[in-house]
Amino acid sequence: MNSLTNNGSAQRGSALIVALFILLMVSVLGISAMRTSIYSAKVATGVQADTMSFDAAESAVAMSLERLRGLNDTELSRSVLNGESMQTCLLSDGSLKNSECGNSDRMDSRELLQAGSYIVHLQNNCRMVSGSDVEIYRDYVIDILGESNMQSYQIENNHLQEALKVGLDCVQL
């Protein structure tokens, strides 16, 4: 009978051990959740920065296409069809600088992104005008390379797009 009365006093310390064990498990779960949350925030920031850089390169290509559409045949021949490239830099006010981007040129108000483009026509890179049976008119194949750079995250994006501009027979100028 002696053992029945001592049994109750021996179990009083086990409640403290169980409570400490539960507290330890909750703490480990909390730290794990905090680490996961920090990791998710870093991933989201990286995805946002990559998207911004992608959009900057696409904007440079779009602005260059608009510039290319505005050129008449003479300007096109002098600037692109002679084998040289046209370089542009997209500035924060939405304008294009007709040269390569400098170290201080940025396209956004926070000064994170640098975006520019190269427009080039490789010699005799032409195609027949779609739906035309007249061989004198050709589509000049003009390559536009949009580049963007976000130095703070070390992210670069390059986008190559092919533009077609109708002209007379494609010969070396």
Tokens linked to 170: 């494609």
**pTM for the whole thing?**
0.71
For residue 173, what pLDDT is reported? 42
Lowest mean pLDDT across 71-80, 89-98, 147-156: 71-80
For residue 172, what pLDDT is reported? 44
> What is the number of structural domains in the chain?
1
CA dihedral sign, ordered 57, 62, 63, 64 = positive
Kindly state whether residue 6 falls inside one of the protein's structural domains.
no
Kindly state whether residue 54 falls inside one of the protein's structural domains.
yes
Kindly state whether residue 66 falls inside one of the protein's structural domains.
yes
- Mean pLDDT confidence for 154-167: 85
- How far is it, in rounded angstroms, from Cα 145 to Cα 163? 11
- Mean pLDDT confidence for 4-17: 67
- How far is it, in rounded angstroms, from Cα 57 to Cα 65? 12
Q: Are 48 and 77 in contact (CB under 8 A)?
A: no
Kindly state whether residue 37 falls inside one of the protein's structural domains.
yes
Kindly state whether residue 5 falls inside one of the protein's structural domains.
no
Whether 51 has a pLDDT exceeding 90, the answer reads: yes
Tokens linked to 10: 């021996």
Kindly state whether residue 52 falls inside one of the protein's structural domains.
yes
- How far is it, in rounded angstroms, from Cα 169 to Cα 127? 10
Kindly state whether residue 3 falls inside one of the protein's structural domains.
no
- How far is it, in rounded angstroms, from Cα 102 to Cα 35? 40
The pLDDT > 90 percentage for the chain reads 36
Give the domain range for residue 162. Answer: 12-166
Mention every residue, 6+ apart, whose C-beta is less than 8 A from residue 91: 97, 105, 106, 107
Kindly state whether residue 2 falls inside one of the protein's structural domains.
no
